[in-house]
Structure 1
Amino acid sequence: MIYPESQICEFIEKALLSEVYTTPKPGLVDKHDTGAHRDMDVSTFEKSTAAISPFLAKMYGAGVEFSENPENLCDEKLFAVIRKIGVDAEKAMFAATNGVNTHKGIIFTLGIICASLGFTLKRHKNLQNDFFDDSDELIDDFLDEVFLNAKKMTFETLEKDFALMASREPKTHGEKLFAKYGEKGIRGEAQKGFPIIYKVALPFYKKLLKVNPDENNRNIIALLHIVKNLSDTNVLSRSSPETLRWLQSECDSILGEKTVFAPEDIERVCKLNEECVQKNISPGGAADILAVTVFLAAVSGL
């Protein structure tokens, strides 16, 4: 039942590349253009993906190897272990991209999910290999546990992080947004067990899988659904709350109730991409959530 790290690494690579190859996307790097970015392209993401995937798989392995009682997830030990691995992952990323930050957010988000996945799978090691073939309800229950364990793993440490941020002058984009707007970003999502994934992105993606067989088309729709529901700090750091609301409204307008995009819908996404480039905004946080969603769908056998 427990996936080997090598297989998890394959799942990670496929998910990260599935996101970057999705075309077109608003303001993001894809196979057509570099969006609102001037220092990276698809090949940059390919190099970065190859560099960081083994480290993310190692975080999964750390979760499998964590032998403490489940309640001891709250004592910060596992999160401390994967944070150290995350530092090495960032170094590998910057080495592969010549200093370009392609995947710092995904290292944080997917790293936590991978560690929690490994820990949760270890607790269910006696289940049959066809566990994920049994029922949607069983899959949902298992993933609920993964998200709950992610919350337990991170809450106390991140609470201390926020207290420290509140006591000093902000340095990073995230710290400045926290000081200015009280925006906790992806760290706040982690503290809550990533509701943007388990309440928004993953249920919608599961719906799309049943009606839309085209991976690229499906990913575009899923991305727009995530953008319209996420307070993306990548957009906020480059613009303002008003611009974020504009982007969310545009995505909502294009999306409507659609689960399959026609050519005219794709054209509207292309037009939105041009406007995002002009406004210099890029919903990188939403792209990360899409990649994690694709990863979880694959791991769950969806």
Structure 2
Amino acid sequence: MNCCNRSATEALAAALLQGLTAELYLTPKPGLVDLWDNGSHADLSLPKMVASIELIGVYFDELTAALAAGAASNELIGLGRIAEERMLARLATNTHKGAIFLGGLLLTASARATDDQPETLRLAVAAVATEIIALRTPAASNGAAARQTYRVGGILAEASAGLPCLFDIALPAWHASITRRADPQRAAFSMLAALMQKVEDTTALHRCGTAGLERLRRDGRMLELLLARDEDPVPLLQQLNLEYRRSNLTMGGVADLLGLAFGYLDFLGEPVRISAEQAATLDSR
């Protein structure tokens, strides 16, 4: 990796951390940790998620250094595994496991891409994902069980296809909303609505089966229509959160891709600065 690519990869790493923070602070989010509550996650909390993002920062530093040194793919996979083990040891639960995979994938692809065009990056993502999936040792997980039980591709298929939910779903939803009404928080909810309708969310499948995934699709469409009518999304999202908590439904895959989208937008020079103060103001309306 030359110095220019290294600089771009380091900038992307910093942006991805900002994206994870923006996703965390976006409030309210049905079934997910935010400033209002812990969603459908009894084992998670806002401070724990903040600490998790700090740990991912350590992993990104390690990864960018390894990429600069020309580390082999097996070594890069090992760094991701160490990051997961460190997260579990420090926090005693799975906080940002999906973000470790997706963030590591995008950073590695960025380092290997021949230019900074989105289409080039997409192709690099697909190539890196195919290589990583072929080399990694399959591990038992809730996501793996859901993929097998419900015959969906989940995050692995998404990665192998070059992250279409990022490039074809989330980013267009953001830009369409910003063009229509220059409100970053509404645009963030537009991305959430779009992703809820498209992501093969294995967390929802694991928790609530096909009915859970169908519920995400239906609610995402409802949120999209509400935003198109310029209505306030907060009452609906608060009600959905209460219902998701009662049914133990959540959407970890959607959250992972939403954070990735926030980070990539930040990298492109379109930062989504959702602070704790802004989100609290939104939630109090």
TM-score, scaled relative to structure 2: 0.84
CA distance in 2, matches of 1:200, 1:157: 24
The 8 Å contact of residues 146 and 202 in structure 2, kept in 1 or not, is answered as: yes
The counterpart of 2:49, out of the listed 45, 52, 66, is 45
1:23 counterpart (27, 38, 50): 27
**Corresponding residue number in structure 2 for 1:136:** none
Q: Deviations over 1:116-158 (max 9, x none)?
A: 11222xx34xxxxxxxxxxxxxx7xx11111111111221442
Structure 1 residues 178 and 153: CA distance shift in structure 2, 3 A: same
The answer to whether 1:284 aligns with 2:252 is yes
Question: Could you report, residue by residue, the CA deviation over 1:185-218 in whole angstroms, capped at 9, with x for unpaired residues?
Answer: 1011111111111211122223233344433332
The superposition leaves residues 254-289 of structure 1 with CA deviations (integer Å, 9 ceiling, x where unpaired) of: 2127358533x2201111111111110111100110
Measure, in 2, the Cα distance between the counterparts of 1:216 and 1:287.
Answer: 15
The offset of 1:65, in angstroms, is: 4.8
Secondary structure of the equivalent of 1:43?
helix
- After superposition, give the CA deviation of every residue in 1:152-196 in whole Å (9 maximum; x if it has no partner): 1221442576xx86xxxx942223223322222101111111111
Q: 1:47 Cα shift?
A: 0.4
C-alpha separation in 2, matches of 1:206 and 1:284: 23
Secondary structure at the aligned position of 1:256 is classed as helix
**Alignment-derived partner of residue 110 in structure 2:** 117
Question: Aligned residue for 2:76?
Answer: 82
Shift in Å, 1:232: 0.5
Q: Gaps spanning 5+ residues in structure 1: where?
A: 68-76, 125-138
- Residue 234 of structure 2 is matched in structure 1 by 266
Q: Distance in 2 between matches of 1:38 and 1:31?
A: 15
Contact 1:66/1:119, CA 8 A, preserved across alignment:
no
Q: Which residue of 2 aligns with 1:127?
A: none
Partner Cα separation in structure 2 for residue 57 and residue 257 of structure 1: 40
**Contact 1:94–1:100 (CA under 8 A) maintained in structure 2:** yes
Structure 2 equivalent of residue 184 of structure 1? 153
Q: CA deviation at 1:6?
A: 5.4
Look up the equivalent residue of 2:254 and give its one-letter code. Answer: A
Which amino acid in the other structure matches residue 19 of structure 1? E
Deviations 1:21-74, CA, capped at 9 Å, x for gaps: 00010100000111001111111111000111231244345445549xxxxxxx
Match of 1:251 in 2: 220
Q: Tell me if the contact between 1:12 and 1:53 (Cα under 8 Å) persists in the aligned partners.
A: no
Which region of structure 1 is more displaced relative to structure 2, 190-199 or 204-213? 204-213
Whichever residue aligns with residue 109 of structure 1, its letter is L
Change beyond 3 A, Cα 1:10–1:34:
same
Unaligned runs of 5+ in 2: 271-285
2: CA distance between counterparts of 1:157 and 1:9?
19
The letter for the 1-side match of 2:30 is: P
1:162-173 to structure 2, matched below 5 A, reads 171-173=140-142
Q: Distance in 2 between matches of 1:171 and 1:95?
A: 18
Aligned match of 1:154 in 116, 129, 150? 129
Residue 179 (structure 2) pairs with residue 210 (structure 1): yes
Rounded Cα–Cα distance in structure 2 between residues aligned with 1:57 and 1:206: 30
Higher RCO (C-alpha under 8 Å, 6+ residues apart): 2
Cα distance in 1 for residues equivalent to 2:45 and 2:197: 24
1:59 pairs, out of 55, 59, 63, with 63
Equivalent in the alignment of 2:94: 101
Normalising to structure 1: TM-score of the pair? Answer: 0.79
Q: Tell me: CA distance 1:234–1:7, structure 2 relative to 1, closer, same or farther (3 Å).
A: same
Q: 2:52–2:96: 8 Å Cα contact kept in structure 1?
A: yes
Q: Specify the code of the residue in structure 2 equivalent to 1:12.
A: L
Alignment of 1:129-140 (within 5 A): none
- 2 CA distance for matches of 1:53 and 1:210? 32
